[in-house]
Amino acid sequence: MGILSFEKPAKVRSFKDHAERYSSDSGIAGTYVPNMSKADMKKWKAKHIRGKDERIEIRKSINGAQMLIVVYKSRQEGDWHAGIHSHENVQISANGKIQLAFADWQEMAQAIEEAKALLFP
């Protein structure tokens, strides 16, 4: 059994209540606040995106930071004029400083390996 969870987390508040509590009217990047249970925040949530730029998106909340890891099936060279963005095989972003315990680091590596195994069966 792997650590990736492909089940969509249940919302703990209505959209309206959540937006009233945690909104940014200025559209500042990194203001996202998850609307899910603490148990769901502990999971390595994954979504398999198929198509031209196949990838697996992995999300995890750790110590208040929301981390997004995208594992792409292939690298992509960008072409600014054609609107194509460059990316490597693994892209990691977050809304703040990521602080990982060694166990979290090992789980992150395991999550990436599981995503690779799904992309390259």
Q: Is the pLDDT of residue 65 over 80?
A: yes
Task: Say how far apart CA 61 and CA 67 lie, in whole Å.
Answer: 6
The label of the residue with tokens 């249970």 reads 37
Q: What is the pLDDT of residues 1-23, one digit of tens each?
A: 699 999 988 888 887 887 777 76
pTM for this prediction: 0.80
Contact 30, 96 (CB under 8 A): yes
pLDDT higher for 110 or 17? 110
